[in-house]
Amino acid sequence: MNYFCDTHIQSRQDQGARFFIVLEQEQQLTKDVLAQNMQYREFCEKHRPKMVLADYIVYSTEAEVYAAMQDEDFDKMIADGQADRIAQSELQMEPSKEKASGSRKRRKSSPVTIAIGVGCILVVVVGAFGAGKKLGGLTGGNDVTETVKANEDGMIIPEQEPILSDAEQITVSIDRSYAAVPTEDLQLKAAVVDGKAQITLPVFDKEDFFTHVPGYTWGFSSSPEGEKIEYYGGQTYSFTQDTKLYRVLVKYGGGSGTKDDPYRIDYYDQLELMGEEKARGYFLQTADIVFPDWVTHKPIDTVNELKSDPDAEYFEYDGGGYAIRNLTDSLFGKISGAQIRNVNIRDSFIHTEEYRDCGFIACAVYNYRYETEDGKRYETGETVIKHCTVSHSAIYAEHPEVETQTEAVEYVTAPVVVPPDVVEYDEDGNIIEPTEPAAPPEPTKKGEYAIGAITGLGGQIEDCYVTDFGIFAYLEDYILYAGGISGKPAGVVNSCVYYYSAQGNIFNAGGIVGSAGGARHYNALGRELPGSYGGSIQGCAARNIILQSEVSGGGIAGEAGTDAEGAMISNCYANELNFRVGVYEDAERQTLQKAGQVGGIIGTDGKEQHGHTVTGCVSSVDFQVNGGKHVSVYDDTVRLAPAYAFYQENILSVINRNSVYPDDPKEIFTGCFRFGDAAVFGDDTGALPYPETIEDLFEKTRTEENYG
């Protein structure tokens, strides 16, 4: 049987709180248990009351209960009849006295969280301010003679393996002299096997705001003056002799920011600290990160300052393949000269009223360049974003709806006043026939900025996958480019988009990119330099795409054409396309006023100087390859195919062939598409080809969808 209590505390009429506490087997709420509760401490810290009255009701249940359960879970358990009411009482607390007496009491007790028996040792797992305790099962029939819990300074003690009394042991002592209470060392013991003892170190409770420092991490060092984490909390280490460890507080999750020892990132507030610090150096994510609902993320800006030593400004973030969830804004804002890889954004939604470039990995990526008077050139280089995913997420660029209360109004219709006929004559006495007034000019529509799942503007994007992604742009001004991977990148290679929709005030939209125009260099003042570079889209696939835009819509690129020479769209395909492109008279887009340009590969060419060479691509037979052909060209390697042909092996002979750059015959691109299981990337019809470099991303995303 398990027990919990519904607790209401109040210091005066306007100061109260309600919460639930999981109880031990004594089935009652005591002053000591209440004083250890986190919500009670928060209440006292906030209001500093002299007296607190606590009313509580105790319930018993067969169901499992634990401290991390939400209040609504307890309420539902009570409402469903899964918990029986067994007692009701009240307590009167004096916080100032309890703090003093509690300190003396804890100093008297041993801080060691070890149950010592005749033949075994058991460590008790205790929450930071948990009211209850959990004893693990003992083996070998040995009696427990003493159990003492200690968890006063944000450490959660993990369970250790039981050991026999006659076994050789090694002890790890953790210094706690920095804390006011207690001062005794915490001792963890384990049996020696093959000269080593496996001991799991305590975990630091990041939700304990009394001890947690936002953006920083506690760890352990073998030196009292240690400035670096040698041993991480919650991990198991092999010890060969008795060891004393000291707590050390470091920036982020540890590490020194070098390539060999990158900063570790494992908690959301460390990402916020990166933004405050204008992050530089190497970073490695080591755990899934979930942003709490009450946290509003601020994008991290990290811009290379064009110093003579480029390594001094280097930035690299490796997501480690872990997920970031519940992100409320772009992970990075403005970046340059960076490397970002293995970042997985999940279940995240950006709502912005700001008219700007926007993407989940980065908003805008810049490549700065300038030349000194003596002709020396400095350049940040293009930012590479590789092996990243965005799934089950959306970007909303719109104003929030404002709920207004309407009142019944009685309308009074004024009488119709008919003006007298007015007849005008010319100088010869002839009647001047009235003319229709000229129609007012159509308002000019402003269109700037770019939106995409990976980046809004810029970046060389490689081996990325986007699925279940939406763009909803309903600000007054138009988004110029919207793409499933990027609005307007430097280039995209071996990437794929599945199930993507873009709608609203958008001029140009594409399955992979809104524009394949490439990127520009910027000077040190942030002004665009003439000429573009990049613009190639290669080895990419777009499937199940819904695009609503006004000027152009393309399966791969909404708009092509670039000021760079030799740009290509090669080794790509797009199918299952749904376009509603043009100017419509109604918001429901039912009455077409002016048709836009749509294409299976390219929606239309822009006004840039050069076009794209389209080669080795498969385009849907339902559309032209290029909806508005001006300067881009495609050769006889491009195939128009019906829907069923995309599932046939012959498609590989087109999209995996060698593509030679027109201006540099030595530069060759070869597609790496393959067929996998239909469940990985396909449907009831069969499997579809995808770039082999992102096979693990497909499998990872599918597993998360099926098993949560």
Q: What is the pLDDT of residues 78-124, one digit of tens each?
A: 998 899 888 888 888 877 655 443 333 333 332 222 222 323 322 33
Cα–Cα dist 601/579, whole Å: 12
The reported pLDDT for the residue numbered 154 is: 79
The reported pLDDT for the residue numbered 266 is: 95
Query: Got the DSSP string for 665-681?
Result: EEEEEE--EEE--TTTS
DSSP H or E stretch at residue 281: strand 281-285
Q: What is the pLDDT of residues 642-663, one digit of tens each?
A: 999 999 999 999 999 999 887 7
The reported pLDDT for the residue numbered 150 is: 45
Q: What is the pLDDT of residues 237-274, one digit of tens each?
A: 999 999 999 999 999 999 999 999 999 999 999 999 99
**Position of tokens 């080795």?**
616
The more confident residue out of 295 and 142 is 295
Q: In angstroms, what CA-CA distances link 702 with 227, 290, 480, 537, 681?
A: 42, 20, 32, 25, 9
CA angle 6, 7, 13 (to 5 degrees): 135
**Position of tokens 């401290």?**
67
Is residue 571 within 8 Å of residue 539, measured between CB atoms? Answer: yes
CA angle 412, 413, 418 (to 5 degrees): 155
Tell me the CA end-to-end span of the chain in Å, nearest whole number.
30
The reported pLDDT for the residue numbered 612 is: 94
% of the chain beyond a pLDDT of 70: 82
Top-confidence range, 147-156, 363-372, 500-509:
500-509
Q: What single-letter amino acid sits at 76?
A: K
The reported pLDDT for the residue numbered 30 is: 85
In this prediction, residues 156-184 reach a mean pLDDT of 82
Is residue 279 within 8 Å of residue 314, measured between CB atoms? Answer: no
Report the helix count and the strand count for the chain, using DSSP H and E: 7, 60
Q: Which region among 145-154, 399-408, 664-673 has the lowest average model confidence (pLDDT)? A: 145-154
| pLDDT above 80 for 412 | no
pLDDT range class, residue 598, cuts 50, 70, 90: very high
Q: What is the pLDDT of residues 471-480, one digit of tens each?
A: 999 999 999 9
Q: For residue 388, give the nearest of 453, 470, 471, 448 by alpha carbon.
A: 453
The reported pLDDT for the residue numbered 116 is: 26
Q: Which region among 412-416, 438-442, 444-448, 599-603 has the lowest average model confidence (pLDDT)? A: 412-416
The reported pLDDT for the residue numbered 137 is: 26
Q: What is the pLDDT of residues 296-354, one digit of tens each?
A: 999 999 887 666 555 566 899 999 999 999 999 999 999 998 999 999 999 999 999 99
For strands 362-371 and 377-379, give the pairing: antiparallel
The reported pLDDT for the residue numbered 177 is: 78
Query: Got the DSSP string for 644-659?
Result: GGGGSGGGHHHHTSEE
Q: For residue 232, give the nearest of 215, 212, 247, 242 by alpha carbon.
A: 247
pLDDT range class, residue 7, cuts 50, 70, 90: very high
The reported pLDDT for the residue numbered 134 is: 28
Q: For residue 479, give the nearest of 499, 500, 509, 512 by alpha carbon.
A: 509
Among positive and negative, which fits the CA dihedral 475, 481, 486, 490?
negative
Computed over its alpha carbons, how large is the radius of gyration of the chain?
Answer: 33
| pLDDT above 90 for 226 | no
Cα–Cα dist 247/249, whole Å: 7
The reported pLDDT for the residue numbered 136 is: 28
The reported pLDDT for the residue numbered 50 is: 72
Domains of the chain: 2-101 (no CATH), 109-251 (no CATH), 263-399+445-707 (2.160.20.110)
Find out whether the peptide bond into 182 is cis, omega within 30 degrees of 0.
yes
The reported pLDDT for the residue numbered 27 is: 62
Q: Which region among 105-119, 414-428, 680-694 has the lowest average model confidence (pLDDT)? A: 105-119
158: Cα separation from own chain's centroid: 29
pTM: 0.73
Q: What are the φ and ψ backbone dihedral angles of 702, each rounded to 5 degrees? A: -65, -40
The reported pLDDT for the residue numbered 151 is: 59
Cα–Cα dist 146/122, whole Å: 10
Q: What are the φ and ψ backbone dihedral angles of 29, each rounded to 5 degrees? A: -95, 120
The more confident residue out of 450 and 176 is 450
Cα–Cα dist 334/356, whole Å: 11
| pLDDT above 90 for 569 | yes
Among positive and negative, which fits the CA dihedral 614, 620, 624, 628?
negative
Q: What are the φ and ψ backbone dihedral angles of 694, each rounded to 5 degrees? A: -115, 20
Q: Which region among 201-215, 340-354, 392-406, 602-616 has the lowest average model confidence (pLDDT)? A: 392-406
Average pLDDT across the chain, whole number: 83
